[in-house]
Amino acid sequence: MLAAAPAEASERRSYAGWSLVAVDVPSDAALAELLGLGVDPWLEHPRAGVVPVLASPSQQAVMAAEGWAVRSLVDDVQPRLDAERDRLQLRVPPQPGVDYFADFRELDEVHAQLDAMAASYPELASVVELGESLEGRSIRALVIAAGGVDERPTIFVTAGQHAREWISVTSSMYVADQFLANAEETTYSEALAAVQLVIVPVVNPDGYEFTWVGDRLWRKNRRDGVGVDTNRNFGWGWGGEGASDVPEEQNYRGSAAFSEPETQVVRDYVLAHPELVAHVDLHSFGQLVLYPWGDVYELAPDDAELSATAVAMATAMSTGGATYTPLQGVDLYPAAGNIIDWTYGDAGLHALTFELRPSDVDEFEDGFLLAPDQIVPVGEEALAGIWQLIAFVTGDLPPPPDEGSSSGDGSSSSSGSSSDDGGSSTTAATTSTSTSSSSTTAATTLDTGVDGTGDGSTSGVPADGDGGGCGCTQARDRSGAITGLALLVLSLRRRRR
C-alpha cells in the first residue's frame, strides 16, 4: 500500500527559477540590507559572513545590480522539490513490518505513530492532547513515564515549530522510539526510573501540514495566510532584536506576545506542570547547541551550568561524523521571543536548542531538504544530546568549575553505556568545538550513565518572578576569571561576535 498522494503539483507553490545562493555579508548592517530585499535566509540565526538565502529571479537580479558577492549553490530548487515529492508519493506508510524511519512522515502519520507507541507500550507511554492550533489541529505530546506519571523530574522536548524543518520532527520521534524500544535495557530503565519525558513532535501542525500540501519551504504558522514565527512569539523579550514587526518576513513576531494558540498551548502546559525541569527545542540547521540568552548580550544567571551542559551535549552529538558547536544563542544572531529564553527565564527550566544537520559552514545546499538516509543518524545525535540533559537532571553531569579554580587542564576519565543498536551514544572524554574559522579542544568529564539515584535536586526550579532565570544556582559575580568549560565557551563566543 502506497501513501496517499498529497495535493496535486498545480496546487503547490512553485519555486521554478528560485536559486539557493551563498552571499558574502561583511557586516551586520549589510545583513540588514540583504534581508531587506525579501530573500529567505536558510538559517535560523543569519549573521555576518557567508549567508545562504533562497532568492527569486527578481531578487537575484537586484543582488547582481547592487554588486553583492554571490555564489550559486542550487541554480533552481524546484527540481529538488519535485524529486522529493515524487519519492514521498511512493513511500510505504507506517504499518507492521515497515520501518517508520525509512522516510519522512506527514502529520496524520506522526499522530498515528504516537497512538501506536502508546498502544504498544501502555505501561510506559501515553498520548496527551495539549491543545489545538490556529486551524484546529491537535497539538499532541507523548508522555514516557515508567510505572505511570508522577512527580519525577521531567524533560520537555519540543520540535516542529518551523514547519519546513522536517528533520526536527523525525528526530523527536526517534528519541521517543529509542526510549520505548530499549526500556528494558539497563541504562534506559535506570534513566526512566529517575526521569520522565514529554515529547511534542509538532508544535506547529498547521504549518507542517502546509509543507506537505502547499509550500514545502513554509516556515511559520498559518495566521492570515502569511503566518507568525512561533519562535519569536514567546513572552520573554518579545518584540526585541531579531524579531520582525512585518508580517511577510520569516521572523514575524506576531501582534503580541503569545498571540498565537500554538505558543499559548506550550505556555499553559509548561506552567501547569511543575515537574518539568529541563527543555530541549529541536530545529535545523547548523549543527549547534544553543543556550540562553538569545536576545541580549548578557550572561544568564546560570550561564556556567547552561554552557557546561551545551559543551557536554555538543561533544556527545559529535561522535557520529557531524561536528556540533556549543554557543550562547545571541552570539549567532539576536532572536527575541524564542521558546528557550521563555522556558528558562520565566518557567525556570534548564533550556537549550539543538540546530541539527546539516552544517551551517559548507553544506548549505542540503538545508531543509535532507535525504531520508539522514533520519536515523540525526536522530541518534539528538538522542545523544538528550542523554547529556538526563545526566544533568540526575546530577551525573559534573558541575562547572568554580570561579578562580586552579584546576589543571580539566581532563579526567569518562564513561557511559549504550544499547546494542547504538541508540544511546556514549560520551567522549574530549570536547571538540569548532567555528568556521577555528577549532578549539578541551577535555572534560562527561558521564551519560544514569544511576537512577538522582532526585532532580540540581535541576532548575521555577523563577521567583523577578525574571532572574531558573535559579538553579545563585548568580555569580562575573568580574573574576572563569576557567575550564565556561572559559572555553566564552572564548568561542567572543570569536563569533
Q: Which residue in 390, 389, 370, 279 sits closest to 322, CA to CA?
A: 370
135 is catalytic: no
C-alpha dihedral (227, 234, 289, 400), degrees to nearest 10: 180
Q: Which residue in 387, 399, 384, 290 sits closest to 344, CA to CA?
A: 290
Rg value, the chain, Cα: 21
What does each C-alpha distance from 298 to 96, 295, 354, 482 come to in angstroms? 51, 9, 20, 15
CA distance 179 to 118: 12
CA distance 114 to 109: 9
CA distance 387 to 192: 11
Catalytic residue, chosen from 109, 209, 355, 380, is 355
CA distance 160 to 167: 9
CB 305 within 8 A of CB 340: no
CB 385 within 8 A of CB 343: no
Cell numbers for 41: 535566509
Output phi, psi for 253, to 5 deg.
-85, -15
CA distance 399 to 308: 8
Active site residues: 355
